[in-house]
Structure formats: C-alpha cells, structure tokens
Chains A and B, each alone.
Chain A
Amino acid sequence: MSTARDTSRWLPWHAIVVFGFLYLPIVTLIVYSFNGSGVGGFPPHNLTLDWYRMLFADDAIWESVLNSVIVALAAMAISLTFGIPAALALDRANFPGKTLFRRLVLLPLILPGIITGLSLLMLFRAGDVKLSLLTIVLGHGTALISVATTEVFAGLQKLDRAQEEASLDLGANYWQTFWRVTIPNLRLSIIGAALLIFTLSMDEIAVSFFLIGRDNTLPLEIWGRLRRGITPEINAISSIIFVFSLIAIVSWYRLRMNTEKQGIAV
C-alpha cells in the first residue's frame, strides 16, 4: 500500500533503536559471561569459559534448578486443571457472580506480584502452613491459572460448536464428548498454555519471594547470590536461562501461528 515516504522515514530507525534498547543489555550480559575480568569494565578481554565451568560444578544452582523444574511442572498441572474448566465455564455457563469470577481469575495477570504473594502468605500463616516448595507451587498455580484460562478461552472461540453437537447427536455423553472432541480440539491451546506457564514459573520471582521456605528456586538462588557479590557466573546462568526462554517462546509462537494458518479449531 502506498503510504507516505517522507514523514515516516524515521520509523525504521526508531524500530532499530528500540530493538537495540531491548536486546543490547541481554547481549552484553551474554558477552560478559565469557569475560575473565568480571561483570563490568570495557572492553571485555580475557575471554574464557571458566564461569561456565564454575557454573556446572555449582551444586547449589543445580539443586535450585531442579526445585524450579518440579515447581514449574506442578504449577503447570494446577493451572491447567483449574484453568481449562474456568475457560469452559466462562465460555458456556452462566452463574451468579460470573463477572466477579472472571475478574478475579484474570487479576493476577495485571496485579503486581507483591499483592498476590503477600495475600497468599497471610493465607498460609492463617492455616499454619509452613513455607516450602509446596507453598510456592500453590502460589504459582494460582497466579498462572489466568494464563491457562486466557489461552484456552481464545482457543474455544475458534472451536466449532457444531463438532460437540455432532458428538452428542451421535450418542456420546458429555463426559465422552469432553475427552473425545473438546480436549483434542483444544490440544494446541493447551500445549501453548503449558509452555507459557512452565516458562513463567521458572522465571517467577515476585510471588516466590514471599512464599519461600528452605529450598530455593532458581531465581531466588540467583537473587541470594546478588546480595553476596556479583560474578560472571551469574551472567553464565542468565545466558543459559535466556537461551531456554528463547526456545520456549519461539516454539509457543510457532505453535500459535500454525493453528491460525491451518484454520483448524484449536
């Protein structure tokens, strides 16, 4: 489409500047993870893999990684178990308080993590529950239900209602229809949501900050180290986190795009 050439010539430059702003810090981080002389200083010299070697020998980090993975998987399970029905309920059921329910479910997405974290802390205090990985799991699960609900709800909009009607027409009951027709059609939305929830849980720090017990998750382990003193080892683990997040998000995006391109009801 032929639009203006003159006034908009600065647009591509602006885009480059903004992308630069968004990526240079991360690129710097990665570059300095190979820097022998520390996290700062310019120019970087003394290129070495030492920090990575140190990282791989660092047991505490890997323990926290394991904790994070366990938490992420558990949070994924909770978020999906409650998020999928929530999306279905918002799509097809009417009940008193539905608006309030919808707002509550979506609130943790936009609410600063501190409020979610603190309120849950008070809940656990009241219930005399000791802080541990379990409380973190419950925290992440609650906060991330909104992600599951949003993704699945979007998928439901593309779902062909007639397919479920056909299933019922052919003799399947609601439970069978749910497992044989509804869920398979939502397959890609669910996978996308799972990917997103896993990634977000692995990175989560705000809510976890208040619900941490004895065992650290990865972000909290890093946080603790930041208090003690910064070494490029932190750059190294950050770079690895970046690479994994990159893979996860690009996969999620490709998944999304495939469903839309094929136009299938997922």
Chain B
Amino acid sequence: MFSRAYRAAITLPPLLWVVLFLLAPYGLLFCYSFWSVSPAQTIVHSWTLDNYRELFRVNVYLQTLFRSMWIAARVMIFSLLLGYPLAYYLSFYAGPRKDLFYQLVIIPLWVSYLVRAYAWKTILGSDGVLNTLLQYVHLTKHPLEFLLYSPFAVVLTLTHIYTPFAVLPIYSALEHIPRNLVEASHDLGASPLQTFWRVIFPLSIPGVLAGATFAFVLSLGDFLAPLLLGGPSGIMISNIVVSLFGAAYNWPLGAAISLCMLILVVSLLFLSEKLEKKWSFR
C-alpha cells in the first residue's frame, strides 16, 4: 500500500540519525579501546591490546566488576521480591482502585533519579533522619555508620529506584493472563496456592525476566548512586570509567571497560529475550 518514496521518506532520516549518533559512537568506542594514551596526555592512535591486558592483569578492575555484579544482583532480587507481590496485588486484588495504584507505581519512576538518591542521602547519614529518629526513640545510642557510604546504601537506593521498573512488566504479564484460566484451575480442584504455582507464575515469567533484566543491567552500569552514597567501599565499575575520563585521564582504558560493559549488557539482553520467548505461550 505504501509507495517506495513514502517508505524511503520514513526510513532514511531516522536511519541516518541512528547511524551517526548511535552506531558511529559505538564504533568510536571500539576504536578507542584499542588505542592508548601517551605520557603527554594525548591519544596515540596505534592499535594495541594493552588496555585489555591491563583489565585482566590488574586486580582492581575485575574485583570492582564482580562487586558491581553482586550489587546489581542484590538489587535485582530485592526489586523482584518487593515488586512481584505488589504487581500481583494490583492485578488480582486491587479491583476498582487498580488504576489509582498503577499511577502510584509509575509516579516514582519518573521523579528525578537525583531527587530520590539525594533523599536517601539525607535519610541515611549519621546526622540523617533515620539515625536521629532511632536515637530519638532510644533504639540506638550512636549513629549507625553502615547506613551511608557503603554498598548497603547503594543497594538500598538502587532497589528504591528500580522496583517500579520491575513491577511494570510483571503487572503487564499478569494482566494478560485470562481470568478463566484461574477459574479453570479452581474448577479442576487446584487450591489458590496450587493455582499460583502451576498456572499464574509460569505464565508471568516473561514479565519477571524483563523486570529482572532492567533492574540488573541498569544497576550494573550505575555511577551516580555510588558517587553520592557508596563511599570507598561502594565503588562500582562505572565509577572507575568516570574517573578514567576525568582526573585519571585514560580514555582508551575507559573505552575498553565501557566496551566490555556494552558487550556484557547486550549479551544479557539477548539471553533474556531468548528465555522470554521460550516462556511465552502466545
């Protein structure tokens, strides 16, 4: 139905933009990762594998990567634990207030990341709201140090930020389950708990995978929460990259790490997509 000219007109402009501002930059990332920096702080455009060797040779990079993955994993798990029952409640129990609750879930999503991270900073500090509250009601005598400038603070803040990200796809998957399947399960003798594990949960797995992927991937690459709340023990891989592009001026090394992150993320996305397809019964 649509002429060639029409199809060219709608395809070419975005295609060009994408090539220029998405594909080319990734290409540059790739190139930079094989270059190096000279003592005079200039980029040397000769191709070398040094950066990658460095990544595996010096412990701190892999260590930080694994710590970041562990933080991301915890964020993912907590987001799912908090988010799944909430999505379930919304879909099956909320009734007429479903709409309102759904809005309540998406509102925090769109409130500035910075605002929310800052809020936790003011709450968790030694003079922060939580510590002074605990002392006020005589639950503690001294401020709890671990609350801020620790991996705990990072996990807490990121869970706060990414739980709504987990709720939405799970809610969507649950909403797509025809209610007559639940009735059929009851009709055949399964109790509500059995119905959940045999029918509802399996059919919601694509949503769970999507939510888990969001939470994990976005937490992994996060650098703002660690900067604000992580302290020295909460440094994540992206912070290293940031410093390599800043004070520790080594763009090529930073590019190498970024490229690894990009490949890791894309692989996870592929894997997640494959699994989602396997568990999708449309």
Direct contact of A and B (CB under 8 A): yes
Q: List chain A positions with a Cβ less than 8 A from chain B.
A: 1, 3-4, 7-8, 11-12, 14-15, 18-19, 21-23, 25-26, 28-29, 32, 38-43, 81-83, 85-86, 88-89, 92-93, 95, 101, 104-105, 107-108, 110-115, 118-123, 126, 138, 142, 145, 161, 164-165, 168, 174, 178, 196, 199-200, 202-203, 205-206, 209-210, 219, 222-223, 226, 230, 234-235, 238, 241-242, 245-246, 248-250, 253, 257
A213: shortest Cβ distance to chain B, in Å? 15
B192 nearest in chain A by CB position: A4
In the complex, chain A residues whose CB is within 8 Å of the CB of B261: 112, 114-115
Cβ-defined contact, B11 with A242, below 8 A = no
Contact of B41 with A by CB under 8 A = no
The number of inter-chain residue pairs (CB within 8 angstroms) is 259
Cβ-defined contact, B110 with A104, below 8 A = no
A55: shortest Cβ distance to chain B, in Å? 14
Cβ-defined contact, B128 with A114, below 8 A = no
In the complex, chain B residues whose CB is within 8 Å of the CB of A226: 118, 121, 228
B contact patch SS: helix
Cβ-defined contact, A26 with B22, below 8 A = no
In the complex, chain B residues whose CB is within 8 Å of the CB of A108: 22
Q: State A15–B89 Cα separation when bound (angstroms).
A: 7
Residues in B112-135 with C-beta less than 8 Å from chain A: 112-116, 118-123, 125, 127-129, 131-133, 135
Cβ-defined contact, B258 with A114, below 8 A = yes
In the complex, chain B residues whose CB is within 8 Å of the CB of A14: 85-86, 89
Known contacts: A26-B116, A111-B221. The answer to whether A40 contacts B22 by CB under 8 A is no
Cβ-defined contact, A223 with B114, below 8 A = yes
Q: State A119–B23 Cα separation when bound (angstroms).
A: 9
Known contacts: A4-B193, A18-B163, A112-B265. The answer to whether A118 contacts B29 by CB under 8 A is yes
Contact of B250 with A by CB under 8 A = no
Option from B23, B89, B101, B122 in Cβ contact (under 8 Å) with A11: B89
Q: State A1–B92 Cα separation when bound (angstroms).
A: 9
Cβ-defined contact, B115 with A85, below 8 A = no
Most buried by B among A41, A200, A230: A41
Q: List chain B positions with a Cβ less than 8 A from chain A.
A: 1-3, 5-7, 9-11, 13-15, 17-18, 21-26, 28-29, 32, 82-83, 85-86, 88-90, 92-93, 99, 101-116, 118-123, 125, 127-129, 131-133, 135-136, 160, 163-164, 179, 182-183, 191-193, 213-214, 217-218, 220-224, 228, 238, 241-242, 245, 251, 254-255, 258, 261-262, 265, 269
A121: shortest Cβ distance to chain B, in Å? 7
Q: State A104–B18 Cα separation when bound (angstroms).
A: 7
In the complex, chain A residues whose CB is within 8 Å of the CB of B119: 25-26, 28-29, 238
In the complex, chain B residues whose CB is within 8 Å of the CB of A164: 1
B198: shortest Cβ distance to chain A, in Å? 14
